[in-house]
Amino acid sequence: MKILFVCTANICRSVMAEGILKRLLAFSPGFHSVFVASAGIDALENCTPDLNTSEVCMKRHIYIGSHKSRQLTKAMLKDMDIILCMEKIHKQRIHSAFPKFAKHVFLLKEYLHKNSLDDVEIKDPTGKSKIIYEKCFKEIDREVQRILPAILKDTS
């Protein structure tokens, strides 16, 4: 299985999600059969993660220092089984630019949810306080842990 997390610049939310899932998979049977990556819909290529993102992740032993931001491309989408976006605009932009892949694109908070949610977006913490980054990390962590059993089930 191949999973791609998408946000705006690929220096905060999608990087956190990628790091969280990779960490969880490292302690799970069958993790070798899951590929995890991230990209941004408006990313500047080869930027390092936001400083607060790095610090929030490092605090939890998730090392993202070697990450370099990547712009989302058609080739990336073509290669993925699941594309998980942080905000509606990310999903809409992918649907508009690459409608062929729409059936693989979801909001992270909506993915595998049985009920509709009032708040389906994970807001961008860029430029905000470290407390906001912490809240963002916890929100992403909760969602990634929620979908982990289904990911592992699909790889077995």
- For the cut 90, the answer to whether the pLDDT of residue 31 exceeds it is no
Task: Find the mean pLDDT for residues 78-104.
Answer: 96
126-137 pLDDT, tens digit per residue, is: 999 999 999 999
Question: Which domains are present in the chain?
Answer: 2-155 (3.40.50.2300)
* E strand segments, the chain: 2-7, 35-40, 82-85, 105-107
Residues 6+ apart with CB under 8 A from 47: 9, 10, 11, 68, 69
Indicate which residues carry an active-site annotation.
7, 13, 124
In this prediction, what percent of the chain has a pLDDT beyond 90? 85
SS3 per-residue string spanning 132-149: HHHHHHHHHHHHHHHHHH
**Cα gap 132→47, rounded to integer Å:** 21
- For the cut 80, the answer to whether the pLDDT of residue 116 exceeds it is no
43-84 pLDDT, tens digit per residue, is: 999 999 999 999 999 999 999 989 999 999 999 999 999 999
- For the cut 60, the answer to whether the pLDDT of residue 156 exceeds it is no
Task: Find the mean pLDDT for residues 77-105.
Answer: 96
How confident is the prediction for the chain on average, in pLDDT?
Answer: 93
Task: Find the mean pLDDT for residues 141-149.
Answer: 95
